[in-house]
Structure 1
Amino acid sequence: MGRQQSKGAPDILSGAYRAVWRWHFYAGVLVMPVLMLLALTGGLYLFRDEIDQAVYSRMATVPASARQAPPEAWAAAAEQVGQGRAAALILPARADQAVRIRVDRPDGGQRTVFVDPHTGHVTGETGYGGVMETVKRLHSLTLFGPVMNLVVEIVAGWTIVLCATGLYLWWPRRRRVGVVALTSTDPRRRPFWRDLHALTGLYVGGVLLFLAVTGMPWSAVWGDRVMDGVRTSGLGRPAAPVAGAWQAAEHADHPQGAGWTMEGMTLPAHAHHPASAGLSEVVALAEAAGLPRPYAVSIPKAAVTTWTVTAQVTRVQDTRALYIDPAQGKVVADIGYSQFGAGAKAIEWGIYTHQGTQFGPINRWVMLAGCIGVWLLAISGLMMWWKRRPPKLSKGLIGAPPAPDGLKLRVAVLAIVLPLCLLYPLTGASLVVALVAERLIRALFRSRPAAA
């Protein structure tokens, strides 16, 4: 936004405005490229079912029939084609859809095999999760390596800084700028881009803030800290309903689709008893328990681990997981949303809403508006910078708003930024890095000899 202000306004307003504007500028430069990628992939993921159906319709669609082949036949066919162990499967909601089976290969790779549940014949094969799994890994940045999960937390924290400083900059203060509508319709003028930027932030800023906060549970440092705190305080997963405690499963045995609260958790099985339940019996137990399809069956590699069957739902209150002891051949735990602690309920609700499913179609379109808003903010911000860029970028001037004079102003701005950085440690660490880098760059250019 521009820096116009009403006549008679105190000088302190101009200095404070420039100080906040400076932080807003640097926060945008730091995170906007990554935020644009997250918005693009997040927008695509909102339509994951439609995209998946369009890409894999030939493999996923089968002739409907009342007949069903034994589930062991599905697994055997998938293992033969996928050349590995059938580790998990998703039973579809409709009779004209194929079963999807995850096959873990000896080399560490994974495949998704489509099997006709009525005949047991394989209808297709693709990489694990298909194209939407790639989109999901792009969205979490894990496609670029585990360390990139740290970047997600930094970006989320700085997005909150962007929203807080952006609200301050938007506040009218009797200036002749766009408050709730454009004041200029000429896109060649900077006021147009300024107003477009401000109004986009006004109308979708709340969605961006919500997405940033509810995306934090997936982050490496903050997410793990909060997860541990919620669970150890009794506000997370319920107590284990059988003798013993919840135990962390090996990576290969992580229950599929168990959600944030129960992620990676299983119960011990009676391994010293002869196993009596196979895939057919587990499916039958899930059906007898009234678990609605679609649901996922996780097949443990270790005999000491229970099987886990999880409902694949769109609303958090429908969350449900069955834990089946193969030795006893019975359901030993039936865990639903009502049994979660208050902390887990709040976080799970945020995750489902973040993914655009909790409140039906309107939820998806609101989240999509936030994703589109990110791109509008980035484009309008770039246009504003381009129109006011310094003539000689090579001299180290990148067009950032000038730093205000006075320690009080800087302290006032840090009062906005520092609490967020304390709440999100990686954001705070990146703040320190940014401050040091700025000082070094400014010192470097000041020490350069003037051109002859």
Structure 2
Amino acid sequence: MHTPYFSDRPAAARSAAYRTLWRWHFYAALFVMPFLTVLAVTGTLYCFQPQIDPLLYPGRLLVAPATTPRLSEDDLLARAEAAVPPGSRPAAAAVGSDPERSAEFVFRYPDGRQHSVYLNPYTGEMLGTLSVEQRFMQRVRMIHRKLLLGKPGELLMELAACWTLVMVGTGIALWWPRGALTWRGTLWPRLDWRGRAFWKSVHAVMGIWLAAGAVAFILTGLPWSGSWGEQFKSLATRANLGSPPGVWGGSTRQSTIPGRQLARPANHAQHGDAVAGGRGMDGMPPMVMDDLPLPSTPWAVGATTVPGSGPAGGSAAALPLDRILDIVRANGIPRGYDVAFPSTPSGVYTVSYFPPDPKREHVLHIDQYSGEVLEEIGYDDYGAVSRLVSYGTSLHMGRYFGLANQLVCALISLGLAGMAITGFVMWWKRRPQKALGAPARLPTPVTMRRWKIGLAALGMVFPLMGGTMLLVWALDSLALKRRAMR
């Protein structure tokens, strides 16, 4: 079989077009592969967090189920408070459903660090503590998202994900069977070949089988990115396709569109009220769900404003945790959720239920004094885009259909790491001495309008990548002019 793109062109033009695609594939892979390997390894580890965490911390996370009933959450909380340094404040509680798991409470220590405290829920025995920021899976997650480099690392990972689309597109074009090659020979590696030809065959076949999975990983991961993801959420919401109605204004569900500041409602908590390091300065945007010390929140509600509790009369105290759990149960939410504690007199209890099935996602904001449910957001409140993102997230994290989902994600991720290895071997076998070894550009003019339109469209959809594409093109053109002048 022949591809029309190459077969209907003169030989010189076909060769120039092929080499142009090869050059873009080479440049994309040169940048992407190191980051893609990191994403693949950390993503695979994080996907198996439910299995790995108990292996790493069995003495803290696991307990022997007992026939006696669990202690009340307030009793367990009091025991946890007695075990942490004076001045520590409770930040969150994990309300689990597994009888073999310990009770967990997150405290903010006086120095600002957050630590999880674990207790036997049947006896109240103190099992130990773990730093929230330093525990293994949290470090893996931060490497996966931002290479532990903060915002610059987050942008690098976003760029790598976007450039993977270029790598996949050009790779498919290079793989496409033409000349004497057949579909059968391009869907299965040529095991009888030797040397670089063998590695090229393995690389190409692995790439085509993994292409769909790679694109799926990118598209389901980008909505969580720090730059493009924020703007995408804003655009989807403005088109009434994203977060629940009213999230961006017009009701108590009010937040800040990226790049804009809103006046803070009087009854809303400030950023400084957040345990997770808010700013708390007058005139700053109100605190949102993503500011809370919760391990995970649904994408659709991450930018929603956290409402404030009403004024307490006299010396009224906040409701006990057990009472909050009764309210959650009355609202039909099963155990397996996290509760963020109010950190100020105007704060609220926030409940985040983030199960594998997106249709069951739920968020409650509960007045800490009256127990009134101030805000309730579920899947039915989501827009079309948020629903798609929710399903994509569950699949991306290997949560949606259990162990099989985890294994599929691991297969794709580790396969992409294998692509990096085979690509490196191919380059190593053909590399010239003291040179990068990029495919040479032929002097034959190449139009390639469809590719240029496609790359321009990608650059407009992903502006950060568009800027780097222009930079690569400019540097490549400059290098070609210098060679021509010699």
TM (normalized to structure 1)? 0.89
Structure-2 residue corresponding to 1:101? 105
Aligned 1:151-162 pairs, distance under 5 A: 151-162=156-167
Q: Which residue of 2 aligns with 1:435?
A: 473
Aligned match of 1:403: 441
The reply to whether residue 303 of structure 1 matches residue 345 of structure 2 is: yes
SS in 2 for 1:103: strand
Q: For the Cα contact (< 8 Å) 1:100–1:115, is it kept in 2?
A: yes
Indicate conservation of the 8 Å contact 1:255/1:308, yes or no.
no
Instruction: Provide, for residues 9-68 of structure 1, a one-character-per-residue CA deviation record: whole Å limited to 9, x for no partner.
Output: 733222111111110000000111011001000011111111001111111122334433
Q: Distance in 1 between matches of 2:8 and 2:462?
A: 39
Letter in 1 for 2:80: A
Instruction: State whether residues 104 and 118 of structure 2, in contact with CA within 8 Å, keep that contact through their aligned partners in structure 1.
Output: yes
Is structure 2 residue 297 aligned with structure 1 residue 258? Answer: yes
Within-5 A mapping of 1:343-362: 343-362=385-404
Q: Partner of 1:324: helix, strand, or coil?
A: strand
The answer to whether structure 1 residue 378 and structure 2 residue 428 are counterparts is: no
Equivalence for 2:124: 120
Q: Which amino acid aligns with 2:297?
A: A
State the 1:235 CA deviation.
Answer: 2.1
Q: 1:244 aligns with which of 252, 269, 289?
A: 252
Alignment partner of 1:231 is 2:269? no
The offset of 1:412, in angstroms, is 5.0
C-alpha distance 243-32 of structure 1, shift in aligned 2 (>3 A): closer
Following superposition, the deviation at residue 90 of structure 1 comes to 0.7
Letter in 2 for 1:380: T
- What pairs up with 1:177-192 in 2 under 5 angstroms? 178-186=185-193, 188-192=194-198
**Residues 196, 380 of structure 1: 8 Å contact kept:** yes
Percent identity, please: 30
Aligned to 2:27: 26
Structure 2 unaligned runs (5+)? 1-5, 257-268, 276-290
Q: Which amino acid aligns with 1:207?
A: G
Q: How do 1:54-69 residues align onto structure 2 when only pairs under 5 Å count?
A: 54-65=55-66, 66-69=68-71
Could you tell me which residue of structure 1 aligns to residue 283 of structure 2?
Answer: none
CA deviation after TM superposition for structure 1 residue 441, in Å: 5.4
In structure 1, the partner of 2:259 is none
Where does residue 142 of structure 2 map in the other structure? 137
Q: Distance in 2 between matches of 1:68 and 1:359?
A: 30
How much has 1:218 moved relative to structure 2?
1.6
Q: For residue 179 of structure 1, what is the amino acid of its counterpart?
A: T
Counterparts of 1:142 and 1:166, CA distance in 2: 26
Give the CA deviation at 1:434.
2.3
Is 1:11 aligned to residue 45 of structure 2? no
Q: CA deviation at 1:271?
A: 3.0
Distance 2:462 2:445 in 1: 25
Equivalent position SS for 1:300: coil
CA separation of 1:362 and 1:82: change in aligned 2, threshold 3 A: same
1:365-416 per-position Cα deviation (integer Å, ceiling 9, x unaligned): 22112111112211111111111111x21xxx31111113344436554333
CA gap of 1:96–1:259, structure 2 versus 1, over 3 A, is: same
The alpha carbon displacement at 1:152 in A equals 1.6
**Separation in 2, partners of 1:6, 1:263:** 50
Q: Give yes or no for the alignment of 1:218 onto 2:220.
A: no
2:325 corresponds, among 279, 283, 291, to: 283
**1:125 alignment partner, SS class:** strand
Partner of 1:201: 207
- Per-residue CA deviation, residues 255-313 of structure 1 (Å, 9 max, x unaligned), is 62221111153222213444452212112212233311211011121232321112241
CA contact (8 A) 1:78 1:122 kept: yes
User: Using the alignment, how far apart are the partners of 2:69 and 2:44 within structure 1?
Assistant: 38
CA distance in 2, matches of 1:131, 1:426: 31
The code of the aligned residue for 1:260 comes to W
**Distance between the aligned counterparts of 1:113 and 1:426, measured in 2?**
41
Aligned match for 1:77, one of 54, 76, 79: 79
State the Cα distance separating 1:424 from its structure 2 match: 0.6
- What secondary structure, in the 3-state scheme, does the structure 2 residue paired with 1:36 have? helix
User: What SS does the corresponding residue of 1:120 show, helix, strand or coil?
Assistant: coil
Between the aligned partners of 1:412 and 1:349, the Cα distance in structure 2 is 32
Structure 1 letter corresponding to 2:186: V
Report the CA distance shift for 1:223/1:78 in structure 2 as closer, same or farther (over 3 A). Answer: same
Counting only pairs closer than 5 Å after superposition, residues 268-347 of structure 1 correspond to structure 2 as: 268-273=308-313, 274-347=316-389
C-alpha contact 2:190 2:202 (8 A) present in aligned 1:
no
Indicate if the aligned counterparts of 1:78 and 1:103 stay in contact, CA closer than 8 A: no
Contact 1:234 1:341 in 2 (8 A): yes
Partners of 1:204 and 1:369 within 8 A in 2: no
Deviation at 1:440, TM superposition (A): 5.2
Q: What CA distance in whole angstroms lies between the structure 1 residues aligned with 2:95 and 2:50?
A: 15
Name the count of aligned residue pairs: 439
1:305-330 CA-partner distances (Å, limit 9, x unpaired): 32111224112112112221112213
SS in structure 1 of the partner of residue 187 of structure 2: coil
Match of 2:90 among 67, 86, 100: 86
Tell me how far apart the structure 1 counterparts of residues 110 and 470 of structure 2 sit (CA, whole Å).
Answer: 44
How has the CA–CA distance of structure 1 residues 224 and 300 changed in structure 2, closer, same or farther, with 3 Å as cutoff?
Answer: same
Normalised to the residue count of structure 2, the TM-score between the two structures is: 0.83
1:222: how far off?
0.9
Distance (whole Å) between structure 1 residues aligned to residue 158 and residue 164 of structure 2: 10
1:363 equivalent to 2:405? Answer yes
